[in-house]
Structure 1
């Protein structure tokens, strides 16, 4: 072998060695932040409120973009509108109570759209942070007798949570009246205007209520135990056709929850919340941080689904929904396929 060929082979060997060594090096932070190829838009329908914080963070910090999706948040006025629009494909993902998904799969929803076996939960979020809040002159369960309370819808959402909380304290359905008032914002407004005397409110509405002299009687989970509240839900058909988008959404949302729970991000997290909910005061935002990111009762770590929490939902529907159905299988309403792909 002549000298020129030997030198050429030596250079190729060195280049190959360097390439292998470089491929074994850890990915730098700058490289890791490079956005993925664009997958397009994902429209997410939400109830207004601070519990959308992970979505606000994922947008502000670029987590959605890094995973290749452009998320459009779309507000709803209540579960009837939200579930109707979901059935018609007017958006891609709903952040909603899993009870809504169970109700419409079983054909027990309040909207006249019939059974929706295509509805499915794909990721957890939280327990819904529900508290029973009453007018300033109502301080005990017993003082609710003969009074009017509000719910989003009588047969879905958190109505059964309210019924069960009252039943455990000796109040039967005939002991009080229930009116539908819509989503959290609408129920809080109705409570302020004395249209009803009590309702279930999520953070930060319960904090607003306390600040205005209303009484927070008890947190729902202190009465009924583990509860799966909000989830990311979609249609099975959309999920199958858009798996990369759905997996990307879950990954970004989970990253946002991780980011929120990191104490060093406290001040920036507050800034992001105030930017997205400008009517919120810094003091309210700080109190909201303490509740939504409580280590024991805050957002579910890693966006996990609480199977015991789903079982509570099913037990409540079995007890209170009409016509009566015995619901026992959580996996009928939750498909872990996409979450597992996202966490892989």
Structure 2
């Protein structure tokens, strides 16, 4: 009996030592939950997203964010619908287009990133003063038909009593990637550009920023995080963690200078001087382009549909509650 007890004690001691050894070896942090994000383009306009990654706000929520740039609304939505991504960052109008196709698994907007248009009106010649009437009779290099930049641009022009179809020559047959090059080569009197291209042209004397389409179009859900309804049902807790990390970044961006923000997001724009990034961030902050929280409100949703309708691109008006889920954002900001 004594021999059995002694053997049992030795076995217990060995098991205890082994368990302590295993605990000591397992000193790494718990495995993070992966979430795949497809962004429509790489843009300083999306600064809060990069801040959330670089400042570790997503990691604090236990998430491993895999960010992919899909370069175009169609490609971004294809990635989402084909399960190539869990979440898409793209314009809210895309959810309306998908809904019009009577999808059995609709795409739902759950967190807002930007709340204004992000483009600027750039003139070839710097005027002593700018008046929207100066666009009449001019040649205008616009964005892709049916895309939010073009629709917001036309909306802003119409506000000043100008018919973009009859009062000027609108060029829309140039690929997005080549619009800036076309203008630099001498095509057009005016062009609608995103940053940092607009500010870069101004620095180089190629063109001059004379107006902001973001200021003209008002608040809209210009760029939002969205996902399939089925993904929300199965991964709501993951999306809540993601949105909480995003909200931390939104607050950080709001409470820090353009210089500080530029320094944080600079790794995402290796070919852009940090001073230019700072200029662009300051321009977007000054016109309140970055959403202060992830909640997409109904007024913004209705403004979006008004802009789409005036552009002749609204398939059918969609109720706010059908394609917008604010429960995740509301819980995240508590």
Q: TM-score range by the shorter chain?
A: 0.7 to 0.9
How many positions carry a matched residue from both structures? 300
Alignment CA distance shift 1:324-1:238 (3 Å): closer
Q: Give how far 1:248 is off.
A: 1.5
CA contact (8 A) 1:104 1:117 kept: no
Answer 1 or 2: higher relative contact order, Cα 8 Å, separation at least 6. 2
TM-score (structure 1 length as normaliser): 0.76
Q: Give how far 1:242 is off.
A: 1.7
CA distance in 2, matches of 1:79, 1:324: 17
Unaligned stretches of 5+ residues in structure 1:
1-33, 108-113
Q: 2:281 aligns to what?
A: 289
* 1:316 maps onto 2:316 in alignment: no
TM-score (structure 2 length as normaliser): 0.78
Residue 284 of structure 1 aligns to a residue in which SS? helix
Unaligned stretches of 5+ residues in structure 2:
1-27
Q: 2:14 aligns to what?
A: none
RMSD: 2.9
Q: 2:292 aligns to what?
A: 301
CA distance in 2, matches of 1:190, 1:156: 19
Q: 2:70 aligns to what?
A: 76
* 1:133 maps onto 2:122 in alignment: yes
Q: 1:179 aligns to what?
A: 172
CA contact (8 A) 1:163 1:173 kept: no
* 1:201 maps onto 2:190 in alignment: no
- Spell out, residue by residue over 1:255-313, the C-alpha distance to the aligned partner (whole angstroms, 9 max, x if none): 112122223x765432222222122213212212312333x614111223243222111
Q: 1:340 aligns with which of 302, 313, 330?
A: 330
CA distance in 2, matches of 1:121, 1:197: 37
CA distance in 1, matches of 2:190, 2:105: 33
Q: 2:204 aligns to what?
A: 212
* 1:105 maps onto 2:93 in alignment: no
Alignment CA distance shift 1:100-1:328 (3 Å): closer
CA distance in 1, matches of 2:268, 2:236: 28
CA contact (8 A) 2:123 2:208 kept: yes
Q: Give how far 1:315 is off.
A: 0.7
Q: 1:161 aligns to what?
A: 152
Alignment CA distance shift 1:180-1:331 (3 Å): farther
